[in-house]
Amino acid sequence: MPTVLTPGGIELAYETVGSPADPALLMVMGYGAQLIAWPRGFSEMLAAGGRFVIEFDNRDSGLSSKLDGVEVEMDALLAAARAGDRARVAELAPYTLSDLATDAAALLDALGIDRAHVLGASMGAMIAQQMAIERPERLLSLVSMMSTTGEPEFGAPSPQALEALLTPSPAERAAYIESSGAKGMIWASRRYGDRTRLEALAAAGYDRCFYPQGVSRQLAAILATGSRADGLRALDVPTLVIHGLDDTLIAPDGGERTAELIPGARLLLVEDMGHDRPEALWPLLVDAILGHTGGDESMDPLAHEQRGGSFGGPSIRPVEAGDG
């Protein structure tokens, strides 16, 4: 697999789908997840729509650099976060979302890409938001999927989802796969949730790189960065926010708040979608992303719905920014 070395000494593993002659679409994956969490069929649909898709492993995941030996005192970190002690959280975190955004920009530099559409999911969208705040000149557009603003009062997980998220995964392969499937179903689409698919992804991820040490450092980065509200209010980047109404890991009001803060942002709330991307919803999601990144409303189900048309398949709820 190809890699690049950033100026900060981080090696990033990446893959591409599609033609480099097409507009670049950088896809940023979320907390503890590897680039293989982007379904290949989903990426191929985006590439078939004329996007040069770039996927990569964030630091501390997959085949990218690991900060081995850099420990995070999780009990102290979570206690400081609950107490609102931002200084202590920052002290305990080895890096922040800004550092992860710097990694993403360095990948674009290494590939010779000045500007790209940037799509992030979950923590990946937090990184994408941070990149847009700090380097708006690098983004053609932003797509923030199943994420939030860093304000603790928005996007809160359900108690069951939070407990599952913070429970360490088993180290033994079979137990890890079973546990991952059970956890994933907590926040999956109620209609389309597929435990077999979740367990297959967990097996592939375990075999590619089982590295539980990285998740504590990534969680610390999220907590140390805190609220992005002020930066999002000042954005001047075309933005689409997508959120599933079944999401229990990051509640839908996280997406609503994101769209409310970003000037001119559009919000697509998707029924039958949780903190996942069910295959049945790929056509809807791909059309929305291609329509947003290409400026072609004829492909965009959100624009079509706003014109009073109907969209076959899963229903959607378009909400104008500022309604949240």
Query: What positions carry a catalytic annotation?
Result: 122, 247, 275
What sign results for the dihedral spanned by CA atoms 217, 156, 229, 81?
negative
Task: Please identify which residue in the block is written with the tokens 């609102």.
Answer: 84
* Phi/psi of residue 110, nearest 5 degrees: -65, -30
Alpha carbons 105 and 65: distance in angstroms, whole number: 16
270 vs 125: CA distance, rounded Å? 17
CB atoms within 10 A of CB 84: 10
Q: Cβ–Cβ contacts within 10 Å for residue 255, how many?
A: 32
Helix (H, G, I), strand (E, B) or coil at 37: helix
DSSP 247-285: -SSS-HHHHHHHHHHSTT-EEEEETT--SS--GGGHHHH
d(CA 300, CA 286): 9
Of the candidates 149, 155, 146, 144, the one whose C-alpha atom is nearest the C-alpha of residue 120 is 144
Alpha carbon dihedral 65, 32, 231, 287, in 10-degree steps, equals 110
